Every structure is written in C-alpha cells, then in structure tokens.
Chain A
Amino acid sequence: MALLEVKDLKVHFQTDDGLVKAVDGISYSVDVGQALGIVGESGSGKSVSSQTVMGLTRAGNAHISGEILFEGKDLLKASDDELRRIRGNDIAMIFQDPLSSLHPFYKVGEQIAEAVRIHNPDGTRAQARDRAVEMLGLVGIPEPRNRADAYPHEFSGGMRQRAMIAMALSNNPKLLIADEPTTALDVTVQAQILDLIERLQSEFDAAVVIITHDLGVVAEIADEIAVMYAGRIVEHAKTDAVFHAPEHPYTWGLLGSIPRMDAPRDEELVPIPGRPPSLINLPSGCSFHPRCPYVRDAHKKVDPSLEPVAGDPTHRSACLLDSSVRKRIWSDLQAGRRPEEARALELDGGTPEMVAKHAQEPPKAAG
C-alpha cells in the first residue's frame, strides 16, 4: 500500500469571477522513502493540490472531491480535529518563503518547540526545547543552543529555511511536503537546502513530495516527476525518463527553457510562448493547445487523458500526438532543431531541405 495515494482529486474554488478549477482531477501516489517531484508553472495547481493534502484549503468556497488516502485513511473525510493531529506530526510541510513563514515575534527555537509540544502534550517545555535545539543542530545551524533564542529576522534566508525544515521534521513525519522550498533562496543556498532535504529524507526515512517550477530542483532528489499544467498532470514518469525521454510538448518546453551544463555554450534557451491559461475559462480540448508548437486542429476539440506510453508502463502522458511522432519530435529537438523546425519536419510533411529554408527565416512567435 502506498503511503499517500491521491485519486482523482479536484479542488474548485467558487469566486466572484467564476469557478476556478485549480486542481482538476489528479492522481498520484508516493511510497515510503520515495520522493515525488511535482513540477509546473505558477497557477498550475501544484501548490493547491499539496495544501489540500494537509487540509489547508478547507474553506467555505472550496469544493473538494476525490480521495486522499494516507496510510489507507481518506483525509478528505477526516474531521478537522483528526486532520489537525496528522498535520505537523505524520505529514509536515515547508513553504516557499521562510521569512514570511516564520512568525516574526517568536524565537526560532520557541516556534520549533511549539510544533513538538502540540503533538507531545505530555512532554515538558524543557524537553521540547531540547528537541528544538537538537533539530536545529541536525539541519546544520551552528551553535544551535544559542541560535534557538534568535528571532527569524536575525537568520539568513538559508538558515530560516533550515529552521523551517527542522520544525517540519521535529515530530518525525512520515511525509514531508516541500512547496517551492528553494525558490526564495540564493542559488548557492538552494543546493545546500536540497542536499539537506535529501540527506534528512534518508535519515528520517520519510517520503517527500517536492513542488517546484524548476525541473533542475527535482532532478537529483525525486524518484518520479509529475508535470502539472492547468490543474492536471500532463506527464508522469520516473525522473530519468522525464529528462531523457519526455513525452509531452509541455515537458519539452520546460526542458528547453532551462540552461544545461552539457549543452554547447551558444545554444539558445527556448521559452514556452504564451502564458498559463485562466483556470476559470480553460481552453477547449487539450488545455495546452494555445501554447503548443505541435497543435493540430483535432487537438482543440478532444481532451486528452493521461495514458501509459508505449513500452514503459510507469510513464504516462496526456498528449494527443501519436507516441511515435512524439519520440521523433523529441529526437529532433535533441538534435538541436527548433520547435517550429521539428513541427515542419514531423507533422507538416516537410523535407529536411524545406526545414533548412524555414530555419533561415526569422522565427515566428508561436501560440
């Protein structure tokens, strides 16, 4: 049995502007000791889906359906009090901005000790404090006994996120949800925090869900990656497959827009044109179609479902292109062709000569 199993989760918010389909039917599971990366742009529903696991989106205007099974128990049906006991104890979470996520008026050590005491009401204050100091040391804060008495504004950004991690892990959670844990940090600190999460994951034997807009962040840490777009998972595969044999144009776009150390120095980054769609009025058919370089007319009518990819049952993709076409486009892109060249070659029946001519014209803005 998976530790966490999310089945057909939908989170819709009723607002004055209309129904916002923030999460629109996603399923995934995480096993003990495993790390899942959820990747997507802002507004793709990745944060809402994970906050729903914690029960943090329960509000008057939220309509939540589906199942969130944690150790077999449906968290969506759990009472507020049951959820509260799980939060911070079995499932813990760290957030994007560690400065605003820590209370400005309480000492760092106190805030960690508070988390300890909530779930260990029989323990003494001194024990909770000792645990807080121990955790601060564990996450690499020097002189933890003294630093426990510092306020968040006296910490650097990296130290604050370490403190958040210390707080999250203080009750030995089985699942750690990290929501953009490195986005607000300097690049050098990002790597340290990711190393720390990875090390603690194995030390604490916790499962990790790491949410990010940056594929680079999850490359090392995640066993599997789910790529989200407009409230749905559009591709889900083992990390290796996402990077080396991705099967969705959106994933290609994400990969094409991050710099790579192994690429030639003059290789251009290719941004994904356009912007994420409004979650109130989703595009018809495949919701990625307005931004997809490989869109065909039929894609504007048919809504693709997440289907296994031929030859790899653990790899699923929601794309209407034929799998063989997708594989050819990916190899074209790998060979350094631009998306519009790959499209001309594989979809519009172009010959390599036509493509060469096409390449001399100034690139058109797609989308």
Chain B
Amino acid sequence: MLAYIIRRLLWSVVLLLVVSLVIFLIFFILPTADPAELRAGRNPDPELVAAIEAQLGLNRPFYVQYFFFIRDIVTEFNFGRSYQNNVDVREEIFSRIPATASLALGAAFVWLVIGLLIGILSAVKRGTILDRLAMGAALVGISAPVYWLGLVSIYLFSNDIGRFPIFEPPGTYVAITEDPTQWLKSLLLPWLVLATAFAAVYARFMRSNLLEVMGEDYIRTGRAKGLKERAVVFRHGVRAAITPIVTIFGLDLGILLGGAILTESVFNIPGIGRTAFDAISKGDIPIVQGTVIIGATAIILLNLIVDIVYAFIDPRVRY
C-alpha cells in the first residue's frame, strides 16, 4: 500500500510536469498581448519594452524560460509575479483558496445529501410518481447551465434585486474567520446553485447503481435472512451502490477545488476560479499558469485519495 502511494505520488509529479509544459507551450505559442507591453504602461518606447523583456527573461528561448519557471517552483515554490500588478502569484492564489474551498466543500455536502437521498428514494420507489417527478427534475437540473441558473436565482431570491428576497446578494462573501454567520449566509445561494446540477447527476447515478445492486444475488440473501427491507436497502444495497460514486465524487471535488469559474464569477466570490477568469481576460499568464497548476494538483491529489479510499471501502481492491 505504501509502495503504491509512493509510486502514485511520483507519477503525479511527472503528470504535473507534463501539465505545466503543455500550459507553458500554449501560452508561448498562442498570440496573447505582449507581457512586456502590459508592464510598460501607455505608449511605451521600444527600449523600455525591450528592457522589460530582458528583465522578465522573455527574450530567452522557450526551453530556457520553461527551465527557470520550473526551477523557481521546485526550489522556491515561486510561481512568479503577475504581469498585471506585480503581485506574487503564489500569495495571490493561496489567498483565494479559502473562498473556493468554502464554495466547493459546502456545495459538495449539499449535493451529496440531496442527490444520494433522491437517488435512493427513486430506486426504492421505482416507477412511482415520486420516481418520475424526481428523475424529471433531475433532467432539468442537468440541463440548466450553472451561469443561467445562477442569474435566475439571483433575480428571484437575492435580497437586493430578488422577487423573493431570501438570500444574500452576490459580492457579500467574507472569510469564515472574519464573520462566520455572514460567510454562511452569503454562500447559501451559491451552494444551492452549484449543487443543483451535481445533485441531479448524482441522483440519477445513485438510482441506476442501486437498481442494479438490488437485483444482485446477495440482496436476495439479505432478504432470505429475514432482514428488514430498510436494512436490505441501506446496509446491503446502498453500501455496494455507493462505491462507484466515491470515484466520481473525488474527481468532481478536485475539479471544483481548482476553481469553480462560473459560479464564482456569477456570485462574485473571490476564489481561484474568479482569479483565473480575470487573469485570462487580461492575458496575465503567470497567474493563469499558477491556477492551472494548482487546479491540476487538486485533481491529481483527489484522484489519489479516491484510489486509496477505495481500497478501504471495497475489500476486493488491493494494491
């Protein structure tokens, strides 16, 4: 098990190197605004631009730039400085992690509870009105884009412009360390919106998994033992049906921890996704690179955690 984890960690490093190289290549090849010009201010004279290019190393060959980029990350954990406002990329991104984590973890909790409960109910009551309504709603939830749902929900429920002022409006996020009550209130609506599509996917997935499991021989054994149906469903059925969900949950959470770009933008939450979005629109390549690498790290780590957890929830899996 330990050998497996070490091997996986080493592979993760390789994977991150590949990701960083691809990202670097993309921004090197793609025509973006010249960073040196961005730095130089309005109507710069060419000498100044050249000087800044030299200072940033932009006049060096591609592979030299990449080498310095990686060297700085490995030796100093330094992602460089923003072309836009010269802030330290690492500090900029790390200061955004709590907001993104608050959004992602809270939403994950909501969608797991709602999605799994609906999925289980639908499977147990298969073919009933309840099942059809739930699955119909799930289809709507999957089909509604999160930015649209976000805007509609703000219009309906935000207590500044909303018809039914229930939730805090966008842009009211504060860190949990500052004001926990306000933190909770400001995140309720984003959680619900972000969780909707996921809850719908999880409900459908849970339903189909559970239906399949309930047809297994060991479920019949459970009934033949004289177990109550509730115990058959939860202790034997859900226990087996939930394992594949752990896999997709890890992936989804990893992706969101790398930044929920749409939700953060719609609700004006200062997270990694918003930062990435702003950086992309301004051509601030160091920040974009930093967010991509942080995002990739989150996905790779969550993936590893899922695989480790899997060995504990499914005794047949051994590494």
Contact = CB atoms under 8 A, between A and B. Distances in A.
A52 to B, nearest CB: 13
B11 interface: no
B201 to A, nearest CB: 24
B313 A105 contact: yes
A105 B221 contact: no
A104 B316 contact: yes
Interface in A110-131: 114-115, 118-119
B239 A105 contact: yes
Contacts of B8: none
B132 interface: no
A100 to B, nearest CB: 4
Given A100-B218, A104-B218, A105-B313, A93 B224 contact: yes
B273 to A, nearest CB: 37
B31 interface: no
B316 A114 contact: no
Contact of A103 (B224, B228, B240): B240
Interface in B225-262: 225-229, 236, 239-240, 243
Contacts of B240: 103-105
Residue of B216, B218, B240 with most chain A CB atoms under a 10 A cut-off = B218
A41 B143 CA distance: 49
Nearest to A58: B223
B247 to A, nearest CB: 15
A167 interface: yes
A202 interface: no
Interface string A70-94: 0000000000100011111100110
B62 to A, nearest CB: 51
Interface string B297-319: 00000000000000001111000
Contact of B220 (A56, A114, A151, A153): A56
B217 interface: yes
B162 interface: no
A118 B226 CA distance: 7
A151 B315 contact: yes
B314 A114 contact: no
A85 to B, nearest CB: 6
Given A101-B218, A105-B240, A56 B224 contact: yes
A306 B316 CA distance: 50
B222 interface: yes
A88 B216 CA distance: 18
A103 B217 CA distance: 9
Contacts of B239: 103, 105
B226 A115 contact: yes
Contacts of A13: none
Given A151-B315, A151-B316, A103 B226 contact: no
A115 B224 CA distance: 9
Contact of B314 (A102, A105, A118): A105
Given A103-B240, A153-B316, A88 B220 contact: no
A95 interface: yes
Counting chain A CB atoms within 10 Å of each CB, the highest count among B225, B227, B236, B239 belongs to: B225
Contacts of B225: 87-88, 114-115, 118, 167
Please tell me the size bucket of the interface on B. Answer: 20 to 34
B313 A92 contact: no
A101 B226 contact: no
A101 B226 CA distance: 15
B226 A119 contact: yes
B223 A56 contact: yes
B226 A97 contact: no
A101 B220 contact: yes
Interface in A138-153: 151, 153
B122 to A, nearest CB: 16
A151 B225 CA distance: 18
Given A89-B226, A118-B225, A153-B316, A103 B220 contact: no
Nearest to A84: B226
Contacts of B221: 95, 101-103, 164, 167
A87 B236 contact: no
B316 A103 contact: no
A208 interface: no
A100 B224 contact: no
A97 B315 CA distance: 20
A87 B313 CA distance: 29
Nearest to B216: A100
B226 A104 contact: no
Interface in A232-273: none
A105 B217 contact: no
Which residue, of B217, B220, B226, B314, has the highest number of chain A Cβ atoms within 10 A? Answer: B226
Given A104-B315, A118-B225, A167-B225, A95 B236 contact: no
25 contacts: A54-B223, A54-B224, A56-B223, A84-B227, A87-B223, A87-B224, A93-B224, A95-B221, A95-B224, A100-B216, A101-B218, A101-B220, A101-B221, A102-B221, A103-B222, A104-B240, A104-B314, A105-B239, A105-B314, A114-B227, A115-B225, A118-B227, A151-B315, A153-B315, A153-B316
Q: Which 4 A-B pairs have the closest CB atoms?
A: A88-B226, A88-B225, A100-B217, A87-B226
Given A56-B223, A100-B218, A105-B314, 19 more contacts: A54-B224, A56-B224, A80-B229, A84-B228, A87-B223, A88-B224, A88-B226, A89-B226, A93-B224, A95-B217, A102-B218, A102-B221, A103-B221, A103-B236, A103-B239, A105-B315, A115-B225, A119-B226, A167-B225
